[in-house]
Structure 1
Amino acid sequence: MNRLSYRLIAFLCLLRCVVYGQTNYELNSGWQCRPIAQVKEAGTTISNLSYSLTNWQPAVVPGTVLTTMLANKQIADPFYGMNNKHIPDIYQTGRDYYTYWFVKEFTENANAGEQVWLNFRGINYSCDVFLNGHKLTDKPHTGMFLRKTFNITPFLQKGGKNRLAVIVYPPDPVGNPNGGQGGDGTIARNVAHQYVAGWDWIQPIRDRNTGIWDKVIVEKTGAVQLKNPHVVTLVPGKRHPDGPQQPATIRVSAELENPTATKQTGTLTYTLDGRTVTKSVNINARSSVTVDLPALTLTNPKLWWPHGYGQQPLYPMTIQFKTASGTTSDVEKLLVGVREIQTEWNSTTRSRQILVNGQKVFIKGGNWIISDAMLRFSPERYDAEIRFHRDMNLNLLRIWGGALSERPEFYQSCDKYGLLVMQDFWGSGDCNGRWVDPMKKDDQWARRKYPDDHTLFLTSAIDQIKMIRNHASLAMWCGGNEITLPQDIMTPLRDTILPRLDGTRWFIDYSNSDDMSFNFLGGNGDGPYGIQPVRKFWEYRTWPFNSEVGSVGVGDYESLERFLPKENLVAPQYSADRKRAKVDSVWDYHKYIGYDGAFAPYGEATDARDFGRKAQLVNYDQYRGLMEGFSAHMWDWYTGTIIWKTQNPWTALRGQMYDYYLDPNACLYGLHNGSEPLHIMFNPVDSMVMVANNTFSYHRDMMMVIKVYDMAGKDSTLTQVFSEIGPTLVRPYVPIGRTVRSLARDKGAFLSLKLLDLDKKPISENLYWLPDANGTYSGLQQMAKAPVQISTRLVSIEKLEVTLTNPAGSPVAFFNRLSLLDPQTKKRLLPVFYSDNYVSVLPGEKKTVVIDYTPTANSPLVSVEGWNVPEQTVSIGK
């Protein structure tokens, strides 16, 4: 999906109110705003319908001040070029510059017996709220991660027309964006996200994301409101994904609030899998109560598993409170994944290992920052991003502590696609004092006590735990990024709050804690970061459960030109003598991380387009090698690894498997290959062909076929043998080093590894490009063209098959990028999902790629371009 499409969706969202049902709806259109400097009246006056809103401007809610300014064309896109540099920063302007009034009129009234509630899911950083001339807050509501609910029943107008006014104040302090990690660190004195003052992967967010950044919902109930249901699923024993299951236990509780002056009686009920559980309840006037319902035994349950290990069934659950007269007062609907998370210590690796439903799972994860640095969230974007991670064959995402607790829609997508989640709380070693840092305003002793308000932190943590705890994907809580929280925060959080409100998940005190992964290396221990010789991922032993390890991630030319002005599309020029690259200033502003000498074996880039093309070869090789190297040592060196990082919420030139505009690069498909559940691979250190089995199944009768192809396409079979492998194992099979080196000596070669089933169909395929005796890819630089033929078949309105055929006698058709194009602009449609990409086709063979996409008015075109395959564009059905 391109930028224009996103803007269209945003505009359409502003035109409507999303209706959740008969009793809930979101206030997400028709908001108006004005900076505080232009408003002299009090909120009690502004919230009166008689107050004129002439000269007020449209506002984006949910959104921030900057998203409103961008929508009103008062600033240029902060994600393009150097635009962000020219937006006034709050540190220089003062907080009033980004302090705004937001006003919304809506129609609502309360009939007899009804209660009307106004729910804010996130405001940054503090606010006062007014409705129809009444101030609803007795003091400013404060905290980015604290929901707030008002019972507005007494304040609604009899005629039904109402005006809501909210004044939103920025964080205090706002932090000096001096180029440090989190700027001068003082942004962390707030209970808020820290990256907004700048980090090594993003420039500062100029308003620090001040605004009503998350949903505003009006809810109507009867006399009793049902809140914060809690569902726990217990799955004893060691289970398998297939076949009949022993019973599981479901435990449910919920909070009930009675705001009325009379005692309420009734029944709390939930329904799951056709079974109903009920409990009678009495709630005193103006009070709340937490109700535990009787446990439910679920026979032969459909269990939820992480991606690669099983399916992700979700049970619909309805929870409701009915009054004694039988009237439904309030209803909540959930999707429940039945699973249980456990951990145990692996004494061999000296690290924790994760178990799901009694089975150990090798963690292949990615570090997630945030979906959008300006907090422009949507279920559609969440779904696309999590689907990309599923397509990388990952099974966990870690939510980094310098950002936020993710939104429920994020977890819904993780539930759907089978991604476990490790959720950090809001702290980072950079801002919170782990290291001496001359960029920081305060010393380590002062920073170690951040944030200023510990009570607010704990209150916010309680609230956020209740918000997301029901998701099957949520597997771990983590105190903070690379540092523990202050003891008077961590101790009650670990020992009291989490056991009381959850009690089913592992709590890690910080992201690289010895409790997670024993640091036998000394120092920081995680990494390595940046470009590495591929063999290093195989031979260098790092932390046994590595929370951060990664490499590069620049997209191709079409990705770069979305946010780099034409005059700045200049490829970095690396100097081997100086061991550094000459980098364009805009690339540098967008946090380019260097490829160093990685291009030299392919020939240095001639221009930005050639740079993007060769970068993909490096990207693919780096991330395939990373995950293969860790998988090769699972259960003896490692119990898991988490890549730093898999996505960027800004147009940064580092650490991403797809760009901000949701265009995947070869990193994604290198991971897709190297992380596949059953995978054949080549160890570059000892030249051994190995198989990694990240499934619970025993794989038998697999034919292992190992061939080498020269640059003309002539093949030599090294071996062909039947093999087998047990569940969750990795094992070596055959050394091929001397033969491979001999065949690759002159011009390099291609090493083809295949696992075939008894019907000769591929189970796993892998193709390596090997250098010549000098370590260069001289043969790749001279390859003849491959006459690839392309055919397409429309499977459904949203699914397309593309088959690439390489005739016998041809060279390998190497590294082909498939794209779906808009027929008018010839630009890529985004997001689009490919079953594989950057694919190579051996001589005399064919390869089919399945493409999922959102249908457009005009039938899209298919583009194929490879290393030695000139670009071809074909129509669907041709």
Structure 2
Amino acid sequence: MKKLKYGIVALFALIHAKGFSQNMYELNQHWVCKKNSDVASISPNKLSTTEYSLKNWIPATVPGTVLTTLINNKTVPDPFYGMNNNKIPDIYFTGKGEYTYWFVNDFNENKPKGEEQVWLNFRGINYGCDVYLNGKKLNKETFKGMFLRQRYNITSLLNSNGKNRLAVIVYPPDAVGNPNGGQGGDGTIAKNVSHQYVAGWDWIQPIRDRNTGIWDKVTIEKTGAVDMQYPHVITKVPGVRQPDVTNQAPANVLTSVTLHNNTAATKNGTIKFELAGKSVEKSIALQPNSTQEVALPELIVANPKLWWPNTYGPQNLYTGKVIFTENNGVISDSSSLEIGIRQMRHEWNAHTRSMQVSVNGQPIFIRGGNWVISDELLRFSKERYDAEIRFHKEMNLNLIRVWGGAITERPEFYEACDKYGMLVMQDFWGSGDCNGRWIDPMKLEDQWTRRKYPDDHSLFVESASDMIKMIRNYPSLAIWCGGNEITLVDDIQHALKDSLMPKLDGTRWFIDYSNSDSMSYNSIGGNGDGPYGIQTLPYFWSYRTWPFNSEIGSVGVGDIVSLRRFLPKENQVIPIEIPGKEAVDDSVITYHKYIGYGNSVEKYGKPKDLEDFARKAQLVNYDQYRSLIEGFIGHQWDWYSGIMIWKTQNPWTALRGQMYDYYLDPNACLYGLRTGGQVLHGMWNPADSSIYIANNSFKKADNIMLSVKVYDMNGKDSVLTNVFSEAIPQNSKKIMYISHALKELGKKDGLFLVVELKNDKKALLDQNIYWLPNKEGDYTGLNKMPTSKVDVAYKKVKDGKITVTFSNPKDATVSFFNRVSVVDKQTGDRVLPTFYSDNYVSILPGEQKTIEIEYPFQSGKNYSLEVDGWNKKATQINLN
């Protein structure tokens, strides 16, 4: 039985019924390739037969791109390291022939018996291709389009001996674009229906082959006479729901599916949908060689387990099945689908003057992050998707926006979002930069011409239709967006909004473009985005931005371990900013798109070297993103209905806007954001020195003890207040001002401000530790702290999971900003990805703090735990 939320699947599955078997498998091994110019004298029909020798062809990576294959064969250097990318020929200067390649796979598949059908599926080829099987061409005309899947019935073309050859010649994009340093280079990359960042952007360097290749899964599928595609499931959850109700009111499920009869005879049978122990069905007669979309009766689920966004409730998922059985009892095709029962709504909030999103009748304050792509070279995996989305969950975010200059994200991305409760805003493929919103001297053509990109509008609409069908069943998908910072050209926009969406989905909010006035009223001018870059901490509380801000972001440099992975030794220097430019005095650091910290790092003392700079930058990172998210949460439903950080991750070794680096190593941005977005949270407003309680859940919390105290650099504490309060659901509440006390206590060396929440059993619910500057605004008092006396102990839970407990003596100072890492003892490298329930942790005098750590354990390897604190020398503990 194939598992499918979309038309094509890449998983093994098997079902037996009356002797007929059906399966699907992925062709992801034993590929070889060769440059087209090297075999130009060989006819495609001959090349695609098993008689032709593939000697001297090189191993190919599929799914993958030409450049991925060249990297894996060490033909070109790793473009992520240093300036290696400049050593790789760019397609704009070499011509498209340099990256026009044949990809060939010899596979075994017997010619089927009876009415069994065999299908060849491609989930993504960039940009054009011709496909041959056993000497026969499958496509009449050259196929084009990065976001259009292909499906071929190859039943009659399989060799009787079961040995077959698939040969695909892949052509680069029609317009490859001049990588001249502009956003999307000279803009002409947008003439294709493809991704735009590959010609370069302000956060990435150009991809030299523009990601030409068979970039997504290739599968062989077998069905009976009738096959099913494009199942569509809509869940309806009327009313206002709560996540913890034991007897939930019923939900309604609507299902449809497209059936294909691939024979010359009429096929009679039953289409059946099963879910939660119930089923609905419908009898159908399919005319010869016909296609029919079938809507099934409504299915009612009693007491459903609902799906909720992260921090608001559980992510319950059901397995549903769609089965077509012929009247003779043969199961011709079946599909399984993971279904999350929830309903999305959106409405205008007259107070904030912005749209608000609700799930299951409950308004959700959007805490989102902008996502570009998992890997700039399209090297995707289910495991990497899972790790990255898990990081977003652990940041306490609840939405990811997939930026419009990239791709429609893959099913595996959405599976992870379903699992971790991340709502998704999916852009289509356009941007203000390439598609003509602004005058731009870097662009080849004028705004009027660029406004009409891409060249083939019908291909865009056809591709959009296919992508909607591919991902529409995922409960995490919440919002469709026409494009990044601009509406698409009129006929495409109308086709999306007025035709495709009502017909193919009809359940989600469609935004014209990412900073549209229909999303957020813009009362202060500008583009509806930002600001970007370093800000003072009070800024995030005192400056009122757009009420649903789609892009606002800051810095994101990793620590020295991260930087050493891609900076050559001679370039491991303190970045010195060049006034008026987004550049520093080191060419490699500039090349990796460093964004400046201003004088914020120097406030901790002049850095001695890059290691010291990166260490102090983590303090800035933590503070920036904690203050950013707290400032927005502090004004939720008053100033704001949502925020999306630009951006949370990087698909290569860039030096800006990231909570973890390309190698999945988190920096302090992630944990500052995590702290600031806790479900029940006490926080300090640095703009007016007031204390707030935030409640990011649907439950009211009564009898909350709010405690505010300070510690000096030696660990001496002073209690400012203990007061009972309450936490209003989905809101923030100002409790008190403490400005006078802070000015007096911290004017010499600064201080630590601690805001805590405890329940009526005196259990700690939330602890938030700020470090405040002296009266000159410097943090140099931290350099006077006594050495930490903290004790660190671990306990093994199971292979790959431990708990680590910090114990700080009562007579000690604060043990400040401890970075914890799991290290491979043999290589000395950090083990990645590792997930920490908290990191960069501080422990107050007389207290303990325990964190959980999960890491990818391998039997036979030896691991150690490294702890490196601000006032603690790095130590390693063997993990036996």
> How high is the TM-score relative to the length of structure 1?
0.97
In the superposition, relative to structure 1, how do residues 591 and 574 fare at CA in structure 2: closer, same or farther (>3 Å)? Answer: closer
Preserved CA contact (<8 Å) 2:368 2:398? yes
* Aligned pairs for 1:247-326 within 5 A: 247-326=250-329
Task: Give runs of aligned pairs for residues 50-129 of structure 1, distance below 5 A.
Answer: 50-109=51-110, 110-129=112-131
Q: Shift of residue 549 of structure 1?
A: 0.1
- Paired position in structure 2 for 1:800: 802
Match of 2:6 in 1: none
Letter in 2 for 1:102: F
Task: Show structure 2 runs of 5+ residues with no match.
Answer: 1-9, 15-21
Once the two structures are superposed, the pairs formed by residues 627-706 of structure 1 within 5 Å of their partners are 627-706=629-708
Which residue number in structure 2 is paired with residue 19 of structure 1? Answer: 12
Deviation (angstroms), 1:782:
1.4
Task: Please say if 1:131 is aligned against 2:133.
Answer: yes
Instruction: Give distance in 2, aligned partners of 1:81 and 1:324.
Output: 64
2:270 & 2:168 partners in 1: Cα distance? 37
1:4 aligned partner: none
Query: Residues 18 and 28 of structure 1 are in contact (CA less than 8 Å); yes or no, is this contact kept in structure 2?
Result: no
Does residue 1:740 correspond to 2:733, yes or no? no
Give the match for residue 816 of structure 1.
818
Deviates more, 1:44-53 or 1:507-516: 44-53
Counterparts of 1:168-247 in structure 2, within 5 Å, are 168-243=170-245, 244-247=247-250
Shift of 1:760: 1.8
**Closer, same or farther in 2 for the Cα pair 1:558/1:331, shift >3 Å?**
same
Amino acid at match of 1:369: V
Cα drift, residue 277 of structure 1: 1.5
Are positions 1:356 and 2:359 aligned together? yes
1:712 to 688, 711, 714: 714
Structure 1 SS opposite 2:792? strand
Matched, 1:422 2:425: yes
Are residues 1:524 and 2:517 paired?
no
Map Cα deviations across residues 389-439 of structure 1 (whole Å, 9 max, x no partner).
000000000000000000000000000000000000000000000000000
* Distance in 2 separating the partners of 1:365 and 1:580: 26
1:534-566 CA-partner distances (Å, limit 9, x unpaired): 110100011000000000000000000011111
Give distance in 1, aligned partners of 2:723 and 2:214: 62
Deviations along 1:357-399, whole A, 9 cap, x unmatched?
A: 0000000000000000000000000000000000000000000
CA distance in 2, matches of 1:491, 1:45: 46
- What is the match of residue 397 of structure 2? 394
Is the 8 Å Cα contact of residues 584 and 590 (structure 2) preserved in structure 1? no
Question: Residues of 1 paired with 2:592 and 2:372: CA distance?
Answer: 16
Partner of residue 500, structure 1: 503
Question: What CA distance in whole angstroms lies between the structure 1 residues aligned with 2:73 and 2:453?
Answer: 36
What SS does the corresponding residue of 1:279 show, helix, strand or coil? strand
Partner of 1:28: 28
In structure 2, which of residues 383, 404, 419 is the aligned counterpart of residue 380 of structure 1?
Answer: 383
For residue 448 of structure 2, the aligned residue among 445, 448, 464 is: 445
- SS of the equivalent of 2:468 reads helix
Secondary structure in structure 2 of the residue aligned to 1:23:
strand
The C-alpha deviation readout for 1:428-487, integer Å capped at 9, x for no partner, is: 000000000000000000000000000000000000000000000000000000000111
* Matched residue SS, 1:534: coil
**Which blocks of at least 5 consecutive residues in structure 1 are unaligned?**
1-16
Match of 1:436 among 434, 439, 454: 439
CA distance in 2, matches of 1:493, 1:578: 41
For structure 1, which segment, 447-456 or 267-276, has the greater mean C-alpha deviation from structure 2 after superposition? 267-276
Paired amino acid for 1:185: G
**Counterparts of 2:606 and 2:101 in 1: how far apart (Å)?**
51
Instruction: Give per-residue Cα distances to partners, 1:771-807, cap 9 Å, x unaligned.
Output: 0111111310211111110110011223210001111
Q: How does 1:504-583 map to 2 (within 5 A)?
A: 504-574=507-577, 582-583=584-585
1 CA distance for matches of 2:492 and 2:577?
47
Distance 1:55 1:581 in 2: 45
Q: Is the 8 A contact 1:571 1:583 kept in 2?
A: no
AA aligned to 2:286 is: I
**Map of 1:341 onto structure 2:** 344
Percent identity over the alignment?
60
1:164 alignment partner AA: L
What's the counterpart of residue 838 of structure 1? 840
CA contact (8 A) 2:582 2:594 kept: no
Provide the C-alpha distance between the structure 2 equivalents of 1:57 and 1:42, rounded to a whole number of angstroms. 19
Letter in 2 for 1:688: S
The letter of the residue matching 2:729 is P
Deviation of 1:740 (Å): 1.2
Matched with 2:5 is none
Which amino acid is 2:531 matched to?
P
Residue identity matched to 1:52: S
Cα-Cα RMSD: 1.2
Whole-Å Cα distance in 2 between the matches of residues 129 and 285 of structure 1? 27
Q: CA deviation at 1:703?
A: 1.0
Q: Following TM superposition, by how much is the alpha carbon of 1:19 offset from its aligned partner in structure 2, in angstroms?
A: 3.0
For 2:44 and 2:261, locate their aligned partners in 1 and report how far apart those are by CA, in whole Å. 29
Q: Deviations over 1:491-518 (max 9, x none)?
A: 1210111111000000000000000001
Provide, for residues 825-863 of structure 1, a one-character-per-residue CA deviation record: whole Å limited to 9, x for no partner. Answer: 221100000000000000011110100112122242111
- Name the stretch that deviates more: 852-861 or 231-240: 852-861
Q: Deviations over 1:310-329 (max 9, x none)?
A: 00010011111111111111
- What's the offset of the Cα at 1:533? 0.3
Change (3 A) 1:365 1:212: same
Letter in structure 2 aligned against 1:277:
V
Distance apart, 1:573 and its partner CA: 2.9
Q: Distance in 1 between matches of 2:422 and 2:429?
A: 21
String of CA shifts for 1:711-745, please: whole Å, max 9, x gaps.
00000000011111221111001111100111111
**Letter aligned with residue 429 of structure 1:** G
Report the Cα offset of residue 600 of structure 1: 2.1
Inter-partner Cα distance in structure 2 for 1:426 and 1:771: 45
For the 8 Å contact 1:841–1:847, the answer to whether it is kept is yes
Q: Tell me, what secondary structure is at the counterpart of 2:249?
A: coil
SS in 2 for 1:333: strand
2:583–2:594 CA contact under 8 A, matched in 1: no
2:726 to 710, 714, 724: 724
Q: Is the 8 A contact 1:793 1:876 kept in 2?
A: no
On the 8 A contact 2:867/2:875 being kept in 1, the answer is yes
Q: Distance in 2 between matches of 1:578 and 1:148?
A: 49
Whether the 8 Å contact between 1:581 and 1:596 is mirrored in structure 2 is: no
Match for 1:142 among 135, 141, 144? 144
Summarize deviations over 1:557-595 as a string: whole Å, max 9, x none: 0000011111111111358x9898743110011011111
Give how far 1:237 is off: 0.4
Letter in 2 for 1:24: M
Secondary structure of the residue that 2:780 maps to in structure 1? Answer: coil
CA distance in 2, matches of 1:574, 1:377: 35
Deviation of the 1:45 alpha carbon = 1.1
- Structure 1 CA distance for aligned equivalents of residues 109 and 261 of structure 2: 21
Counterpart secondary structure, 2:333: strand
Return the letter of the residue paired with 1:145.
F
The aligned amino acid for 2:696 is N
Q: Structure 1 counterpart of 2:163, which letter?
A: K
Counterpart in the other structure of 1:7: none
Structure 1 residues 580 and 159: CA distance shift in structure 2, 3 A: closer
Q: Would you say how many aligned residue pairs link Structure 1 and Structure 2?
A: 860
* One-letter amino acid of the counterpart of residue 399, structure 1: V
Letter of the aligned partner of 2:783 in structure 1? Answer: Q
Q: Provide the rounded CA distance (Å) in 2 between the counterparts of 1:823 and 1:155.
A: 54
> Deviations for 1:75-97, whole angstroms, at most 9, x for unmatched residues?
11111111101100000000011
Pair 1:574–1:163, CA change in 2 (3 A): closer
Q: CA deviation at 1:608?
A: 0.9
